[in-house]
Structure 1
Amino acid sequence: MTFFRSLKNTLFQVLYLLLLVCGLYACASIGTPSGGDDDFTPPKFTGSEPAANALHINQKTISLLFNEYISIDKPAEKVIITPPQKKQPLIKAVGKKITVELKDSLILNTTYTFDFTNGIVDNNEKNALEGFSFAFSTGDVLDSLVISGLLLDAETLEPIPNTLVGIHSDLSDTAFTTLPFLRTSQTNETGRFWIRNVAPGTYRLFSLNDANRNFKLDAPFEALAFYDSLIVPSFEPAVRQDTIWKDSLTVDTIQTIHYTRFTPDDVVLRLFQEKFEQQYLLKTTRSDARRFTMEFNAPVEEKPDIALLNATGKVNQADWCLPEYSADRKNITYWIKDSLVYQQDTLRIEAGYCAHDTANVLIQKTDTIRLIAKKAPTPKNKNKSATNEPQREVLTITITPSGTLEVFDTLNITVSEPLRWFDRECILLSQKVDTLWNVLNVPLMQDALNPRRYYLSPLWPYGQEYQIKIDSAAWIGIYGNWNDSLQTTLRTRTEKDYAQLFVQLTGNEFAGFGQLLDGSQKVVKEVPLEDGELAFYDIKPGKYYLRYIEDVNGNRLWDTGKYAENRQAEPVYYYSGFFELKAYMEMEQNWNIKELPIEKQKPLEITKNKPKEKQPRKNDNRNKNNGNRNNANSQSAMPGMPRMSGF
């Protein structure tokens, strides 16, 4: 009996030792922690000093507390304080707390709003607390009305992000240019804005790309928008339906939510840049002995006055050089005609041109410019037996397009230097009829800006073959160079290679023109509105988009606005769909340009500033319970304020 009791104790001791060894091994094993599910939840506001929406506040430092460690992304840009501050406040985030220290004196009986837009993010995953704002009042009342809307580019209808929007209670036209905004906010990434804590009253609404951050329009290069009507903010009780999801496919419940709707909440502002480019001379270069170029910052409207300075005095431009303008009129190349002039290594010229002074006033300016010719590199002579006689320069001729000619094309002929003389009889354009070439009597037109470019622009029928023939020495340049003979053949496409599009347009107030766009928004074809129709003939097969511009002044251009004249930019409308055109197709379409609100017209496919979808940062192992969250109020309201309606 004693033996069995002893054996039993021994077995228990061995088992205990085995369990102890296993436990120690498990503790010593090194493993990789799973880390849990990804965090997609933004920080939550938990408290503040002073309290949110408090009254009779006289302290200039506020503290905001959150449920996790946070930081502020670009506080100087993303934190908007109303009323606007003259001195930059001190804004910092430490741990779970944000501190804002105002440097300006507090204004009595005023509601202060601290709009953090999307600047508050958690430290780890950078989840942004969208639309968070905080408010208090220095008086007896906390103003609580809201004005909201959307800011679009006037020409392209693109949503404009990160741009100031503000109001004035002073209804005069000069308030925008002389006074800072009374209350202000900033558009978010999709161009939407909310001006919060507005007092009852009547206001004018503006937007400003405020380059100098003084909250008023005082620079000609600042883009702006102004609303034509007066704004009277108000509120009303409203109801909406909120859906709660069990998961991504299953609806849990649909709740009826009663809330306060602040109006107006559908204002659309159209931002434009007034027509202004500061004009000044960038540089003057002499790329080779026979020409020099003046490069300007903006298109040249008035022709500069160029004079050559030599020992005997001034030589007028017409006697010694010939100007050539670039397509955008920003650069002018002067071809020196006189060999006694271009053979000089150094030239002195007097240039009189228009430029803006420091007050942005266009004045006449005169400069004396010294031009030194760049020496051409000496070509290496690989053939030692070759003679040292200089080779003849050839006047080169370039014809575009080549090969295939569209029926709507203009034939461009460009020569390498301006012409002194040409024989029109030695330049032949012929059309092939059966087996014969019939010479066409088509005028040769010189370009108004570029003296080296000429045009042939007849009506090109479908499916025809053409030939251009230029005899040798038919054209002679100003430096005595002549052309070699040239012959090229062109062919137009057949009618079956093209599509036709006819759009019956309604809803317009003014005559205008339609523009057919490709996927990159490049204008492919432009036609005027005639008898209510936009007729696009001879279009290459492809996918196209359409916009219409109301041409208020009838100049066949889109014109920007001007605030001093209370003139908006010319209205632009986009067809909300697209046209998939195939060869030999004829399509008709009706389009009421005001059937859809302007903010819903532009197709998403060609919208550059698209709404951004939040993507998982590491993996997609979301907690299934996340589907139960109610995301109906995506606009985080100010603490203590009712939720606001959007679009």
Structure 2
Amino acid sequence: MNKLRLLLFGLSVLFLASCAKQSTPTGGPRDEDPPKLLNSNPIAESLNTKPETITLTFSEYIKLDNPSKGIVITPRIKKDEVEFTALKNVVSIKLNQDLEDSTTYVFDFQKSIVDISEENPAESLKLVFSTGNAIDSLSLSGKVNFYFPAAKPDYKDILVGIYPVGDTTDVLTAPPYYLSQVDTTGSFRITNIKNGSYLAYAWKETNGTLKAEYKSEDYDFMLDTLHLNGNIENITFNLSKADITPIRILRSSTFGQNYDIVVNRSPIEAKLGHENLGTEYFYTNADNRIRIYSTSSKPDSIPFNISLRDSVGFSKDSLIWAKFPESDRKPEKLTVSANSGKNFYRDLNVELKFNKPISKINTDSLYISYDTASVIAITESMMAFQDSAQRDILNIRLAIPDSISHEIFTVKAADSTFFDFENQVNETILSANYRKLKREGLADEISGTILNAKPPFIVQLLNSKNDLIQEQFLENSTAFSFKLVEPGTFKLRVVEDLNGNKRWDPSNFTQRKPAERVFYFYNAERQPNLVIRSGWSLQDQIIQASDPTGFKPEQK
């Protein structure tokens, strides 16, 4: 009898527990209605109020979805001190700080408040109130673009913020005073701004700090000051990455009989100075390491001038005393790689890369094969090192006559064809294939004009994978032309090369230097794709320069 009572008691407890558990109701139609705000404290548009806690009451049970990141509060407050809670149908926000006098506050909840059943977010939910006797009503709006967009630009987590002039913080050091999330089209709007002067920034927020991480996040900044005494529209930002860590030498030391210089980041230029450079001393520059090679050991330290320059314009000039002692350290093996798989028409361009400077080439074992019995000898006149002081990139150029009708040409090098300054040879055979295209299979030309920008330009023809196919440098012209193009789908990209150094320069925030403008060809459907077939000629293509960062010209 006692066992039966115990069993009935246990079943009763389980039944009551299951009844008490809060869960999503089963059955019935799906709830697609978002939660509706019934009332708030303070009420919307309240004046002369400084709440310690904000409460919002909704039409149904709700919950919070990542409120510390999803709820945008402007102007800036100490968000790490704010407490967000949701209980049944009420959201409470405990501020735990004093608000500024005569200031309009905006709590933009975006999609952070959702119903508990289907997680439908409350729509267009904002709470605006003022600690003074007026609601600030100025606004700032515009568009955010990418200089190097993905196939489908992702505007998620893109923020725009402004800082009062005189504020000791900026986008790299602290959250902004006013803030807005960019929508799915790249548009933004900051509302309820106080009259004043501001500096404006845009960036991709990936870690929840509400500030830009310049080593890993795309960002942009306006050079002009925003003097807000009325609404400002059509501001443009163009996002790109720019690591502004100044380049510097971390350490230098011997490596076997060679000498290594290690820098904190990869230089875009690394130049060494010595009267015997290119004859007795050679060097390589790979990633963040420069290695100097000597043709023989030296009893004394040798001085080298070194000049480093990074992509954002920082430079470092130093004098290095390098040592080249005798060493029992086993040298690295010599390796070689080729730009195999390239297509060509008439002129074959082969690039061979080595991990060390090359001292000698045995041309007897270096040739081009195009069938089982036919070869073309590669002579010294066809070869040139890209840099005589480095000798680690070898270019081979020759014209293949039309009389040779074969399609595949193979560059071959036997083992022990290449020798380096440490008496190492290539131990593996090199075999790199190249495909010759037929004239009748090529498109004739892609040509056109660049508008609303001034040269010099770098005009690039990219394939559907964003690989560079052809490139032109226009020093004094706005007209471009790519001839004899392999059929396919392409993009046309233009770099406004303001300083004429034949490369794109990113921004430098510390020097207040904007990135060089990058823009694209767009077809009638506003797509960047350009399709060309065999025998076609696409002429009079127009590339409209995109808006630079900042105001529209009429707003300046």
1:212-252 residue CA offsets vs partner (Å, 9 max, x unmatched): 98878897877332264745465xxxxxxxxxxxxxxxxxx
1:444 to 383, 386, 389: 383
Instruction: Within 5 Å, give how 1:189-228 maps onto structure 2.
Output: 189-200=184-195, 203-208=198-203, 223-226=219-222, 228=224
1:451-508 residue CA offsets vs partner (Å, 9 max, x unmatched): 3442112455667467868799765444545679999996632212322332322423
Aligned to 1:72: 64
**Which amino acid in the other structure matches residue 360 of structure 2?**
W
1:254-277 residue CA offsets vs partner (Å, 9 max, x unmatched): xxxxxxxxx544332223444524
Q: Please say if 1:520 is aligned against 2:520.
A: no
Aligned to 1:388: none
Aligned to 1:385: none
Q: Please say if 1:494 is aligned against 2:489.
A: no
Aligned to 2:266: 299
Would the alpha carbon gap of residues 458 and 587 (structure 1) be closer, same or farther in structure 2, given more than 3 Å must change?
same
Aligned to 1:167: 162
Distance between the aligned counterparts of 1:455 and 1:362, measured in 2?
A: 30
**Which amino acid in the other structure matches residue 325 of structure 1?**
N
Distance between the aligned counterparts of 2:484 and 2:224, measured in 1?
A: 41
**Which amino acid in the other structure matches residue 541 of structure 1?**
P
1:591 Cα offset (Å): 1.0
1:573 Cα offset (Å): 2.0
1:49 to 29, 41, 46: 41
Q: Please say if 1:271 is aligned against 2:239.
A: yes
Aligned to 2:284: 324
1:589 Cα offset (Å): 3.7
Contact 2:195–2:228 (8 Å) recurs in 1: yes
Aligned to 1:536, the other structure's residue is in SS state strand
Q: Please say if 1:187 is aligned against 2:187.
A: no
Distance between the aligned counterparts of 1:365 and 1:68, measured in 2?
A: 72
1:431 Cα offset (Å): 11
Distance between the aligned counterparts of 2:50 and 2:413, measured in 1?
A: 87
Contact 2:278–2:390 (8 Å) recurs in 1: no
Distance between the aligned counterparts of 1:398 and 1:179, measured in 2?
A: 46
1:119 Cα offset (Å): 2.1
Contact 2:214–2:244 (8 Å) recurs in 1: no
**Which amino acid in the other structure matches residue 180 of structure 2?**
S
Distance between the aligned counterparts of 1:45 and 1:523, measured in 2?
A: 53
Distance between the aligned counterparts of 2:322 and 2:203, measured in 1?
A: 40
Distance between the aligned counterparts of 1:368 and 1:420, measured in 2?
A: 21
**Which amino acid in the other structure matches residue 162 of structure 1?**
D
Would the alpha carbon gap of residues 546 and 469 (structure 1) be closer, same or farther in structure 2, given more than 3 Å must change?
closer
Aligned to 2:99: 106
Aligned to 1:77, the other structure's residue is in SS state helix
Distance between the aligned counterparts of 1:536 and 1:106, measured in 2?
A: 61
Would the alpha carbon gap of residues 531 and 479 (structure 1) be closer, same or farther in structure 2, given more than 3 Å must change?
closer
1:159 Cα offset (Å): 5.4
**Which amino acid in the other structure matches residue 573 of structure 1?**
F
**Which amino acid in the other structure matches residue 445 of structure 1?**
A
Instruction: Within 5 Å, give how 1:325-404 maps onto structure 2.
Output: 325-326=285-286, 329-332=287-290, 400-401=339-340
Contact 1:418–1:451 (8 Å) recurs in 2: yes
Distance between the aligned counterparts of 1:365 and 1:97, measured in 2?
A: 68
1:510 to 451, 454, 463: 454
Contact 1:431–1:440 (8 Å) recurs in 2: no
For normalisation by structure 2, the TM-score amounts to 0.70
Instruction: Within 5 Å, give how 1:396-475 maps onto structure 2.
Output: 400-401=339-340, 405-407=344-346, 409-414=348-353, 418-422=357-361, 442-448=381-387, 451-459=391-399, 464=404, 475=418
Would the alpha carbon gap of residues 517 and 318 (structure 1) be closer, same or farther in structure 2, given more than 3 Å must change?
closer
1:423 Cα offset (Å): 5.5
Contact 2:157–2:206 (8 Å) recurs in 1: no
Distance between the aligned counterparts of 1:411 and 1:233, measured in 2?
A: 61
More deviation, 178-187/85-94: 178-187
Aligned to 2:27: 35
Contact 1:399–1:413 (8 Å) recurs in 2: yes
Distance between the aligned counterparts of 2:508 and 2:460, measured in 1?
A: 24
Would the alpha carbon gap of residues 501 and 72 (structure 1) be closer, same or farther in structure 2, given more than 3 Å must change?
farther
Would the alpha carbon gap of residues 474 and 119 (structure 1) be closer, same or farther in structure 2, given more than 3 Å must change?
closer
Distance between the aligned counterparts of 2:84 and 2:119, measured in 1?
A: 18
Would the alpha carbon gap of residues 226 and 336 (structure 1) be closer, same or farther in structure 2, given more than 3 Å must change?
same
Distance between the aligned counterparts of 1:539 and 1:400, measured in 2?
A: 19
Contact 1:221–1:277 (8 Å) recurs in 2: no
**Which amino acid in the other structure matches residue 187 of structure 1?**
V
Contact 1:462–1:493 (8 Å) recurs in 2: no
1:583 to 512, 534, 538: 534
**Which amino acid in the other structure matches residue 226 of structure 1?**
M
Would the alpha carbon gap of residues 575 and 98 (structure 1) be closer, same or farther in structure 2, given more than 3 Å must change?
same
More deviation, 196-205/573-582: 196-205
**Which amino acid in the other structure matches residue 575 of structure 1?**
F
1:333-355 residue CA offsets vs partner (Å, 9 max, x unmatched): 667876999xxxxxxxxx99999
1:84 Cα offset (Å): 0.7
For normalisation by structure 1, the TM-score amounts to 0.61
**Which amino acid in the other structure matches residue 401 of structure 1?**
S
Structure 1: tracts of 5 or more residues without a match:
1-32, 235-262, 306-315, 342-350, 377-392, 600-647
**Which amino acid in the other structure matches residue 541 of structure 2?**
N
Distance between the aligned counterparts of 1:126 and 1:191, measured in 2?
A: 25
Aligned to 2:11: none
1:57 Cα offset (Å): 0.9
**Which amino acid in the other structure matches residue 53 of structure 2?**
T
1:128 Cα offset (Å): 2.7
Contact 2:214–2:242 (8 Å) recurs in 1: no
Contact 1:147–1:233 (8 Å) recurs in 2: no
1:192-217 residue CA offsets vs partner (Å, 9 max, x unmatched): 32212123556543335679988788
1:532-565 residue CA offsets vs partner (Å, 9 max, x unmatched): 3221223222111222222222222222233455
Distance between the aligned counterparts of 2:135 and 2:129, measured in 1?
A: 7
Aligned to 1:611: none
